[in-house]
Amino acid sequence: MVTFASMSLPLILISNDDGITAHGIRVLVEEMQKIGEVIVVAPDKPQSAMGHAITIMEPLRLKQSFIFEGVTAYECSGTPADCVKLALDKICPRRPDIMVSGINHGPNSSINVIYSGTMSAAVEAAVDGVQAIGFSLNDYSIEANFEHTRPYVQQIVQKMLEKPLPYGTLLNVNIPNTEFIKGIKVCRQCGGKYAENFEERVDPTGKKYYWMTGKFINLEPEDNDTDIWAIENDYISVVPTKFDLTSNSVIQHLRQLL
Amino acid sequence: MVTFASMSLPLILISNDDGITAHGIRVLVEEMQKIGEVIVVAPDKPQSAMGHAITIMEPLRLKQSFIFEGVTAYECSGTPADCVKLALDKICPRRPDIMVSGINHGPNSSINVIYSGTMSAAVEAAVDGVQAIGFSLNDYSIEANFEHTRPYVQQIVQKMLEKPLPYGTLLNVNIPNTEFIKGIKVCRQCGGKYAENFEERVDPTGKKYYWMTGKFINLEPEDNDTDIWAIENDYISVVPTKFDLTSNSVIQHLRQLL
């Protein structure tokens, strides 16, 4: 039996953290227009590394944007998570069938996921019960080439529309910066951290200030079931990601201790 | 055998997200001074709901503060996560034995953990391999009474110093706003979300703006093993929390699908 709802085009909400004018979001919009009805609510300026920040101390602005032909789009003064909250409450005419975030200029593999504005937009949608995927390209440059990502982005979104994930899970997809992609690997978040090395400088008045610089350290370089391994070996990494942060394996130990 | 290291006082790093002048951090500093050597690096202004934001596009400032007698303290222009990164790289003379964050004015139970600046500071330390605890009081008011939290904060920190958690886990501790605490419950993060309802207003020039307002929805109101249940029943909730966000239970399903 085909219901009216299943005959209509899926509603696809799009956001990102590089801002509405970034190249990565344009590629995502173009690909999603082939699948469904698209609504964009994205930051009016870059919001990288915003983590899951939300704006509670000041009001938010929305401004209609006409940069994507035939697409309802708004630029928002807030964070990626703000964009999704506002979109779901004020812009979307019905619940989106899926929310896609990105395509980020730069990877969100390993520990990057906790700093990622791209992923925070997707997490926000998932918490609200909307299927969600964050897409990132392993290339930080503003002129990054996204052409090779197109068929994979299409394919992964289509699969998620056909077989939605259970509540509590979304996807973190990282795409290598090569045209010679070997395939898709479903894998786990690699253990990793940054070795920070703040660069100390002195301003013209003699006061110190610090620039954050850091070098990523792979804590599991031998393992071949991680997202970092996949990307380094020219596979697209797909990590099912959750927002229940409970470390269940430690609960019994703690009950004895406390 | 008692080594030199074990005879010296533990080094305790403190931060928060309500800012260095908040009452909650003062209580934490006072209690930690009874246990060890204390270093504070905290935001110079409130940073609530900053999630795990870090500052990469502008430099950070540190300014020595003398508001805690006998304590090395700095106020930092950045986010809670920035504070911890800077403290570990530039301020701490050696690796801290533990990092404690808070005490937050307001709960970080359930889904609040992903928006929480308090928890982001603790997560940052834990990612770097430092034992870490985020403390929050279930009272948002700036005049909140923290007196009843003191013995429990002491007790939990002492236990963690004696029996450190494995890498990858930290504690999210929420304390009810009552003097009649029944005890400590080790529990899991409650399923929950916010029903957003942005309040639309019009500025003097006729342009719309939006205030975020929302009502928390408990998605598991029947369960008695969650942090929300514990707090509502006058128990302190302790949730072991992790930053590996992989949803392992979904990996097999996805491998068949993609």
Binned at pLDDT 50, 70 and 90, residue B93 comes out as very high
Question: What pLDDT does B8 receive?
Answer: 85
Question: What pLDDT does B1 receive?
Answer: 39
Q: Tell me which residue in B55, B189, B246 faces A212 most closely, judged by beta carbons.
A: B55
Question: What pLDDT does B7 receive?
Answer: 60
Query: Touching check for A245 and chain B: CB below 8 Å?
Result: yes
Chain B closest CA to A35's CA: distance in Å?
18
Query: Touching check for B216 and chain A: CB below 8 Å?
Result: no
Q: What is the mean pLDDT of residues B148-168?
A: 97
Phi, psi of A242 (to 5 degrees): -130, 165
Question: What pLDDT does A26 receive?
Answer: 97
Instruction: Compare A197 and A106 and report the one with higher pLDDT.
Output: A106
Chain B closest CA to A190's CA: distance in Å?
8
Predicted confidence (pLDDT) at residue A3 exceeds the cutoff of 50: no
Query: Touching check for B120 and chain A: CB below 8 Å?
Result: yes
Query: B3-33 in b/e burial notation, b at 16+ Cβ within 10 A?
Result: eeeeeeebbbbbbbbbbbebbbbbbbbbbbe
Binned at pLDDT 50, 70 and 90, residue B2 comes out as very low
Query: Touching check for A210 and chain B: CB below 8 Å?
Result: yes
Query: Touching check for B97 and chain A: CB below 8 Å?
Result: no
- Residue B216 falls inside a structural domain: no
Query: Touching check for B64 and chain A: CB below 8 Å?
Result: no
Task: Among A211-220, A233-242, B247-256, name the most confident range.
Answer: A233-242
Phi, psi of B210 (to 5 degrees): -130, 130
Q: What is the mean pLDDT of residues A91-120?
A: 96
Binned at pLDDT 50, 70 and 90, residue A141 comes out as confident
pLDDT tens digit string along A156-206?
999 999 999 999 999 999 999 999 999 999 999 999 999 988 999 999 999
Minimum mean pLDDT among B22-26, B43-47, B179-183: which range?
B43-47
Residues of B in contact with A111 (CB under 8 A): 127, 243
Give the residue from chain A lying closest to B129, CA to CA: A193
Binned at pLDDT 50, 70 and 90, residue A10 comes out as very high
Looking at residue A168, what DSSP letter applies?
Answer: T
Give the residue from chain A lying closest to B208, CA to CA: A61
- Considering the entire predicted model, what is its pTM? 0.94
Q: What is the mean pLDDT of residues B105-133?
A: 97
Query: Touching check for A87 and chain B: CB below 8 Å?
Result: no
- Check which CATH number belongs to the domain holding B147 and give it: 3.40.1210.10
Q: Tokens standing for A68?
A: 């994507």
Binned at pLDDT 50, 70 and 90, residue B113 comes out as very high
pLDDT tens digit string along A18-67?
999 999 999 999 999 999 999 999 999 988 777 888 888 889 999 999 99
For β-strands B11-15 and A235-242, DSSP reports them as unpaired
- Residue A216 falls inside a structural domain: no
Q: What is the mean pLDDT of residues A82-105?
A: 97
Q: What is the mean pLDDT of residues B90-100?
A: 97
- Residue B59 falls inside a structural domain: yes
Given an 8 Å threshold on Cβ–Cβ distance, is B120 in contact with A188? no
Binned at pLDDT 50, 70 and 90, residue A4 comes out as very low
Minimum mean pLDDT among A43-47, B68-72, B153-157, B239-243: which range?
A43-47
pLDDT tens digit string along B214-235?
899 999 999 999 999 999 999 9
Q: Tokens standing for B155?
A: 């007790």
Query: Touching check for B111 and chain A: CB below 8 Å?
Result: yes
Say how far apart CA A130 and CA A89 lie, in whole Å. Answer: 13
**Residue among A130, A212, A218 with most chain B CBs within 10 A, to mutate:** A212
Q: Could you tell me the residue range of the domain that residue A157 belongs to? A: 4-190+222-257
Q: Tell me which residue in B188, B212, B239 faces A60 most closely, judged by beta carbons.
A: B212
Given an 8 Å threshold on Cβ–Cβ distance, is B115 in contact with A244? no
Domains of chain B: total: 1
Query: Touching check for B90 and chain A: CB below 8 Å?
Result: yes
Q: How many CB pairs under 8 A join A and B?
A: 214
Predicted confidence (pLDDT) at residue B4 exceeds the cutoff of 50: no
Q: What is the mean pLDDT of residues A129-150?
A: 95
- Residue A29 falls inside a structural domain: yes
Question: What pLDDT does A57 receive?
Answer: 84
ipTM: 0.93
Question: What pLDDT does A32 receive?
Answer: 98
Instruction: Write down the mean pLDDT value for chain A.
Output: 94
Query: Touching check for B140 and chain A: CB below 8 Å?
Result: no
Query: Touching check for A217 and chain B: CB below 8 Å?
Result: no
DSSP string, B17-69: SS-TT-HHHHHHHHHHHTTSEEEEEEESS--TT-TT----SS-B-EEEE-SST
- Which residues, including other chains, have CB under 8 Å from residue B133's CB and lie 6 or more apart? B98, B99, B100, B101, B122, B156, B157, B160, B170, B171, B173
| In contact, A223 and A190? CB cutoff 8 Å | yes
Query: Touching check for A206 and chain B: CB below 8 Å?
Result: no
Chain B closest CA to A27's CA: distance in Å?
21
Given an 8 Å threshold on Cβ–Cβ distance, is B196 in contact with A88? yes
Q: What is the mean pLDDT of residues B79-91?
A: 96
Percent of chain B at pLDDT above 70?
97
- Residue B200 falls inside a structural domain: no
Query: Which contacts (CB < 8 Å, 24+ apart) does range A211-216 have?
Result: A211/B59, A211/B60, A212/B54, A212/B55, A212/B56, A212/B60, A212/B82, A212/B85, A216/A110, A216/A192
- Residue A25 falls inside a structural domain: yes
Given an 8 Å threshold on Cβ–Cβ distance, is B60 in contact with A239? no
Question: What pLDDT does B3 receive?
Answer: 44
Residue type at B137? L
Q: Tokens standing for B45?
A: 């202004």
Given an 8 Å threshold on Cβ–Cβ distance, is B59 in contact with A90? no
- Residue B153 falls inside a structural domain: yes
Q: What are the distances in angstroms from CA A232 to CA A182, A185, A221, A236, B227?
A: 11, 12, 11, 9, 39
Given an 8 Å threshold on Cβ–Cβ distance, is B208 in contact with A57? no
Q: What is the mean pLDDT of residues B70-80?
A: 96
Looking at residue A246, what DSSP letter applies?
Answer: B
- Residue A67 falls inside a structural domain: yes
Question: What pLDDT does A214 receive?
Answer: 86
Percent of chain A at pLDDT above 90?
89
Say how far apart CA B81 and CA A214 lie, in whole Å. Answer: 14
